[in-house]
Chains A and B, each alone.
Chain A
């Protein structure tokens, strides 16, 4: 009989012991693979967000913590809309665009949805134009309000360019130039689920809106929203002139960093954060999760190792007579030792593979469902999980294997 078939028969004869050890190893590997895969995907998403959002700043009500940039208006707290005017009139260098938002719950076709009020650029231009005289004076002198940030494109164009008049460009630019009081933009997912088409009329918050555009899918919460003019949303929801968040598009990263302090001083009752700060928070959380997954993996591997050692010791004690017989029939200590180690490594490999399967399943289900990220497999975690599972099984089985190899067949028969 070959060594591996002897090991296999032994595993099948005592499945309970082997399964316990296998389960613990599998749990450790699955925790590592699941968490690492989700973290890896989350990091990729953060990097792509960073690229898309550029030098943006968020102004939030004090005390609001934020981890998802696209859900910055979903905290239920508010700021006075006059803060937007305060920023506009302050003519801070480096401010390219402003995008205040107010989100309120509503119903559409029997479904609960979110209606988000946005302010078109034309509203800012009107207020900016009140300061024409200041700007003219400053423009003719060396320093003053409205100057360009050095090396950047400068203050945004006053007159609409074609791309900003296209309403569907909101999906990428987060800006619309003009938005009629009775017009609405509908997110891709919502339009699909409710069969809404451009030009159609919809009724939300007790008022009729004409759908001026369906936004392309962005993979963010905007896909399930209806966007309308901020002042119309405020009026219909009877909220008064408030917003949930003000997004400030800086002309460059350098200007955005400088702006944070200036906006902090201008709006002392608000929280001013840059996109890089939000991303930093996400990176910190990811790192924490990453370390935590290794700690959990380590603990479970320790327990798994102890369990394998205990199972194998019990196994050796239980099989003294059988092992003694094998030795009496000519089996060498090396062969006995290899038999025990082969069994342990089989448990380790099977545990690792099962853990890998479980971990990937958990990552694929939990990632999109609970964390909103599509999962990519972390090959590093897969390799580390499998290798460590086998090493732990072998190390844990080494003492029982050594004990089995040094059994005296005569004593074994005497015991029985």
Chain B
């Protein structure tokens, strides 16, 4: 009886993004359409699950053009790949993951969530790019530029060319003229009316290593990285 109820519950929450064989397919389809997906995992149709589903539904209804959602019962064998990807059988349930079109997890909320948190999990494309890099164990170097024709700070270029950090850095460049990235500037606490570039450096999983101006040298950035102990470069590994 409980399983039947769970099944009915799951069907009741299938969001209207068109039929797909599995929820994994739905997540992939949403990504192709450039939409964020809220993936909600649950075990039982209890009050917490219903509350969470209701919050997500309201959020998706209000942001229909850029979000969608799927519900996944962790006991559903058809969804084993999705359950395994998010290790959902080992997390407190119900839980919802915000997944960006590029596959980055932009938020995880367990047992209860509000719409403000779900909104926080929607990122600008460049921000999502940076988060994806951090989740791929790379150091993110963010260059926030006033205009598209502003040259990348020389220090950043030097750092990227440093063989010690080869393959370990990911540069994200955003321009104040890009309307879609206004939120990125705001979240990075950089004034979009800036007259000169700003450089921010982050280490996985999301440690802010520093904010620098355009005059920062490659040496200074490298020093900051070594100092953080998160560079993983061959020099520091030998110590």
Residues of A near any B CB (own CB < 8 A): 81-82, 84-86, 89, 123, 125-140, 146, 155, 157-162, 241
B232 contacts A81, C-beta separation under 8 Å: no
**B120, B189, B207: which contacts A135 (Cβ < 8 A)?**
B207
Give A264 to B19 CA distance when docked, in angstroms. Answer: 44
Give A125 to B207 CA distance when docked, in angstroms. Answer: 13
Question: Is B92 located at the chain interface by the 8 A CB criterion?
Answer: yes
A136 contacts B87, C-beta separation under 8 Å: no
Question: Is B121 located at the chain interface by the 8 A CB criterion?
Answer: yes
Give A159 to B134 CA distance when docked, in angstroms. Answer: 11
Chain B residues near A89 (CB-CB < 8 A)? 91, 108, 110
Interface size on B, residues (CB 8 A): 37
Chain A: CB-nearest residue to B122: A133
- B 123-178 contacts with A by CB, 8 A: 123, 131, 134-135, 137
- B 182-239 contacts with A by CB, 8 A: 187-189, 202-208, 229-232, 236-238
List 7 other contacts, CB 8 Å, given A128-B205, A158-B137, A161-B237: A129-B134, A132-B204, A133-B123, A136-B187, A155-B207, A158-B204, A159-B232
Chain A residues near B232 (CB-CB < 8 A)? 159-161
Q: Tell me, rounded to whole Å, the shortest Cβ–Cβ distance linking A98 to chain B.
A: 13
Give A189 to B30 CA distance when docked, in angstroms. Answer: 54
Q: Tell me, rounded to whole Å, the shortest Cβ–Cβ distance linking B132 to chain A.
A: 9
B120 contacts A133, C-beta separation under 8 Å: yes
A86-B110 contact in complex given A132-B206, A134-B206, C-beta closer than 8 Å: yes
A157-B229 contact in complex given A132-B206, A162-B237, C-beta closer than 8 Å: yes
Chain A residues near B104 (CB-CB < 8 A)? 132
A132 contacts B208, C-beta separation under 8 Å: no
A140 contacts B131, C-beta separation under 8 Å: no
- Cβ proximity bits B103-127 to A, threshold 8 Å, 1 near / 0 not: 0111110100000000011010000
Chain B residues near A135 (CB-CB < 8 A)? 205-207
Question: Is B2 located at the chain interface by the 8 A CB criterion?
Answer: no
A159 contacts B90, C-beta separation under 8 Å: no
Chain B residues near A85 (CB-CB < 8 A)? 87, 90-92, 110
26 contacts between A and B (CB under 8 A): A81-B90, A82-B91, A85-B87, A85-B91, A85-B92, A86-B91, A86-B110, A126-B87, A129-B135, A130-B108, A131-B107, A131-B108, A133-B120, A133-B123, A134-B107, A136-B187, A137-B120, A138-B206, A146-B205, A157-B229, A158-B137, A158-B204, A158-B205, A158-B230, A161-B232, A161-B236
Q: Tell me, rounded to whole Å, the shortest Cβ–Cβ distance linking B215 to chain A.
A: 21
Chain A residues near B203 (CB-CB < 8 A)? 158-159
Q: Tell me, rounded to whole Å, the shortest Cβ–Cβ distance linking B87 to chain A.
A: 7
Give A134 to B189 CA distance when docked, in angstroms. Answer: 14
B188 contacts A140, C-beta separation under 8 Å: yes
A132 contacts B229, C-beta separation under 8 Å: no
Give A231 to B134 CA distance when docked, in angstroms. Answer: 25
Give A81 to B203 CA distance when docked, in angstroms. Answer: 28
A129-B105 contact in complex given A85-B92, A86-B92, A136-B202, C-beta closer than 8 Å: yes
Chain A: CB-nearest residue to B106: A133
**A82, A131, A161, A162: which contacts B206 (Cβ < 8 A)?**
A131
Q: Tell me, rounded to whole Å, the shortest Cβ–Cβ distance linking A120 to chain B.
A: 13
Question: Is B89 located at the chain interface by the 8 A CB criterion?
Answer: yes
Give A134 to B205 CA distance when docked, in angstroms. Answer: 10
Residues of B near any A CB (own CB < 8 A): 87, 89-93, 97, 104-108, 110, 120-121, 123, 131, 134-135, 137, 187-189, 202-208, 229-232, 236-238
A132-B205 contact in complex given A137-B187, A161-B232, A161-B237, C-beta closer than 8 Å: yes
A84-B131 contact in complex given A128-B205, A134-B107, A146-B206, C-beta closer than 8 Å: no
Chain B residues near A137 (CB-CB < 8 A)? 120, 187
Give A182 to B206 CA distance when docked, in angstroms. Answer: 31
**B90, B189, B238: which contacts A140 (Cβ < 8 A)?**
B189
Q: Tell me, rounded to whole Å, the shortest Cβ–Cβ distance linking B226 to chain A.
A: 12
Chain A residues near B106 (CB-CB < 8 A)? 132-133
A139 contacts B229, C-beta separation under 8 Å: no
What 4 pairs across the A-B complex have the smallest Cβ distances?
Answer: A135-B206, A139-B208, A158-B204, A159-B232
Give A162 to B14 CA distance when docked, in angstroms. Answer: 47
Give A241 to B93 CA distance when docked, in angstroms. Answer: 14
Q: Tell me, rounded to whole Å, the shortest Cβ–Cβ distance linking B35 to chain A.
A: 17
Give A57 to B121 CA distance when docked, in angstroms. Answer: 33
B105 contacts A82, C-beta separation under 8 Å: no
A131 contacts B92, C-beta separation under 8 Å: no
Give A199 to B120 CA distance when docked, in angstroms. Answer: 48
Chain A residues near B206 (CB-CB < 8 A)? 129, 131-136, 138-139, 146
**B90, B135, B229, B230: which contacts A241 (Cβ < 8 A)?**
B90
Q: Tell me, rounded to whole Å, the shortest Cβ–Cβ distance linking A25 to chain B.
A: 62
Chain B: CB-nearest residue to A135: B206
Chain A residues near B107 (CB-CB < 8 A)? 130-131, 133-134
Q: Tell me, rounded to whole Å, the shortest Cβ–Cβ distance linking B170 to chain A.
A: 13
Chain B residues near A146 (CB-CB < 8 A)? 205-207
Chain A residues near B208 (CB-CB < 8 A)? 136, 139-140
A241 contacts B137, C-beta separation under 8 Å: no
A82 contacts B205, C-beta separation under 8 Å: no
Give A159 to B168 CA distance when docked, in angstroms. Answer: 10
A159 contacts B187, C-beta separation under 8 Å: no
Chain B residues near A125 (CB-CB < 8 A)? 137, 204-205
Give A130 to B90 CA distance when docked, in angstroms. Answer: 14
B87 contacts A132, C-beta separation under 8 Å: no
Give A386 to B68 CA distance when docked, in angstroms. Answer: 84
Chain A residues near B230 (CB-CB < 8 A)? 157-159
